[in-house]
Structure 1
Amino acid sequence: MNLYCIYDRKGELANPPFTAPNHALAIRQFAVACNQSGSTERPNLFSTYPEDFCLMFIGELDEKTMVFKAPDIITNLGLALDFIKKE
């Protein structure tokens, strides 16, 4: 299982990691989150500040042994800006 996080470039802060079987499904989850509507009380930060957030591949987790393997290079899979649907 792969591990990903959404990194806030402006805040210099990683959000809690999440799992996905592969990059394509992680990108889909991030794209859905980027395109969800917000409200006045609770805006969608990904769509409000799309240049600030990026999806990062941070490693692999073996579900049987619980061993985490970090990649040699953390991979940026794209900015929120790349996944917001244009109207």
Structure 2
Amino acid sequence: MKKFTIPCDFAEAKAPFNIYIGEPSPKFHPLQFQHLWLQEERGGSIPSEIMDSFQKLHAIALENGASFEELCVYALGTTSEKASGEAKKDEQ
């Protein structure tokens, strides 16, 4: 199980929140239970664009018989690398 930190909505503010990615059931959204817990216990929510992105990754994993967890690591790692590369360019 992998841990990722994503920006979540809490009232009028955004704050980092840890989510955990494993191999979800094909019947459920991969973040459904974490999203419900965040709403009920912390009064926050995972933004819809993040929910949509993870749903798309889940569909791709199911269609290709791939590991959802590994696909997320690859996709989010690639995104993180691009962001850090852009930040380094801005510093120069």
TM-score by length of structure 2 reads 0.30
More strand per residue: 1
Larger radius of gyration: 2
Which structure is richer in relative contact order (CA contacts within 8 A, separation 6 or more)?
1
TM-score by length of structure 1 reads 0.31
